[in-house]
């Protein structure tokens, strides 16, 4: 096995320039969620050049199969997301976005080019492993209901069904050349809350003639935070944040209604449902008890992301073998959401992070910012590592 490891490392190094070229091409041609038409064609073309057949899915997604020896032994799926964000890039680089107002600001160009690199490596060593690799290039990670949910609905995890799935995401807080893993709960579910509190507006000097929706909404916000502090199991991370409170009255005008918007995040599906039900009941009850009413609307987002502990432990050990213990770190829980989470509720999964930071080069900006960038050293690491992890997993019975 160690000679195969060496071979993969050498292939990865030889192909790094091709991975970087692919990343730069994708970076300069970003497309928004569910509109990854050119990206889809690019991915197909790259795979066809390698002799890997493809199949379309989820409108703008691509599935490809690489069969090793004894292809029915076991299947492992590898996933990359392909969409960009509605952000105007401010980086002054030769490969900057050519699409005004659209930017690969979450590194999905890196994930896609890395998985193409992984495919190139796996295709050239396919006589040296047993089993099947299923490549999932999915659309629309950034937009509800999430490309992953559509991929699953359209059968991405069937025919053949993978025993496990791996995904990676760039990490701007981890130096390029390192990767991070975490077993168990890793990222949060994220639901959007939209509340409309209705009262009866009027002159601010005569509150007795009114039903003040501002006061009602204020009570609702405070009471809802108490659900987090009093009803939630303290061992489970959960967040409730309100970022919008619109009351269009004036110093002397009580408005008719108030709109509040927020986000509720959790790491447990039972608590997620229970917490939402409690919040709705509380908000409606408070509003009613004060003479008003509350419309409580939830836009359901992605579920929480759980990394299968055994699979993740194996992948971390395999990563240590590939790149050394100094370059493999443990991750903290992160309350952001990611649609890879959908896969993790269907099949054993491991979502890990690929370091892209470089303080010396000033590459420090976070994802979803107009000057996000990566140290492309990450593309010397990502493709080979994922190929090695997949082969390790296939090698188990
Ligand atoms: Zn993102
Ligand atoms: Zn992302």
pLDDT tens digit sequence for 70-123: 999 999 999 999 999 999 999 999 999 999 999 999 999 999 999 999 999 999
90 SS3 class: coil
Could you list the beta-strand ranges (E) of 84-198.
Answer: 132-138, 164-175, 179-181, 184-187, 189-198
The C-alpha angle 216, 286, 220, rounded to 5 degrees, equals 55
To the nearest 10°, the Cα dihedral for 194, 198, 202, 203? -50
Mean pLDDT of 315-324: 98
Under 8 Å between Cβ of 47 and 64: yes
- Mean pLDDT value of segment 192-203: 98
Between strands 257-266 and 189-198, the pairing is: antiparallel
Closest ligand (CA of 367): 1
What pLDDT band is residue 1 in, cutting at 50, 70 and 90?
A: low
Ligand number nearest CA of 340 is 2
| Closest residue by Cα to residue 110 from 196, 199, 172 | 172
Q: How remote is the CA of residue 168 from the centroid of ligand 2, in Å?
A: 9
What is the pTM assigned to this prediction?
Answer: 0.94
393 CA → ligand 2 middle, Å: 25
Mean of per-residue pLDDT scores for the chain: 97
Identify the H or E element spanning 158. none
List, by residue number, the catalytic residues: 83, 141
Q: How far does the centroid of ligand 1 lie from the alpha carbon of residue 365, in Å?
A: 13
Instruction: For residue 313, report the distance from its CA to the centre of ligand 2, in Å.
Output: 23
Gap between the Cα atoms of 123 and 126, Å rounded: 5
């Amino acid at each position: 096995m160690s000679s195969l490891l060496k071979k993969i490392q050498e292939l990865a190094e030889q192909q790094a320039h091709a991975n970087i070229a692919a990343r730069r091409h994708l970076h300069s041609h970003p497309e928004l969620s569910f509109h990854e038409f050119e990206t889809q064609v690019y991915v197909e073309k790259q795979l066809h050049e390698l002799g890997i057949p493809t199949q379309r899915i989820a409108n703008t997604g691509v599935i490809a199969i690489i069969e090793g020896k004894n292809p029915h032994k076991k299947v492992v799926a590898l996933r990359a997301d392909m969409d960009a964000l509605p952000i105007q890039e401010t980086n002054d680089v030769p490969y900057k976005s050519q699409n005004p107002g659209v930017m690969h600001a979450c590194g999905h160009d890196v994930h896609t080019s890395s998985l193409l690199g992984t495919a190139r490596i796996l295709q050239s060593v396919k006589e040296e492993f047993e089993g099947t690799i299923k490549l999932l290039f999915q659309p629309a990670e950034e937009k509800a209901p999430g490309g992953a949910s559509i991929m699953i609905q359209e059968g991405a995890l069937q025919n053949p069904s993978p025993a496990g799935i791996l995904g990676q995401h760039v990490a701007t807080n981890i130096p390029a050349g390192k990767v991070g893993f975490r077993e168990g709960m890793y990222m949060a579910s994220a639901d959007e809350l939209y509340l409309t509190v209705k009262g009866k507006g009027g002159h601010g000097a005569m509150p007795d003639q009114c039903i003040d929706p501002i006061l009602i909404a204020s009570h609702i916000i405070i009471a809802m935070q108490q659900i987090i502090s009093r009803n939630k199991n303290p061992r489970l991370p959960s967040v409730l944040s309100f970022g919008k409170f619109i009351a269009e009255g004036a110093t002397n005008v009580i408005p008719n209604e108030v709109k509040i918007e927020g986000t509720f995040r959790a790491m447990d599906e039972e608590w997620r449902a229970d917490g939402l039900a409690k919040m709705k009941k509380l908000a409606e009850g408070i509003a009613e008890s004060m003479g008003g009413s509350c419309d409580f609307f939830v836009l359901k987002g992605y579920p929480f992301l759980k990394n299968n502990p055994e699979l993740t432990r194996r992948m971390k050990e395999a990563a240590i073998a590939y790149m050394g213990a100094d370059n493999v770190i443990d991750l903290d829980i992160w309350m952001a959401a990611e649609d890879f989470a959908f896969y993790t509720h269907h099949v054993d999964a491991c979502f890990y992070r690929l370091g892209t930071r470089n303080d010396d080069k000033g590459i420090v900006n976070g994802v979803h910012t107009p000057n996000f960038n990566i140290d492309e050293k990450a593309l010397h690491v990502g493709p080979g590592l994922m190929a090695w992890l997949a082969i390790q997993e296939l090698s188990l019975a």
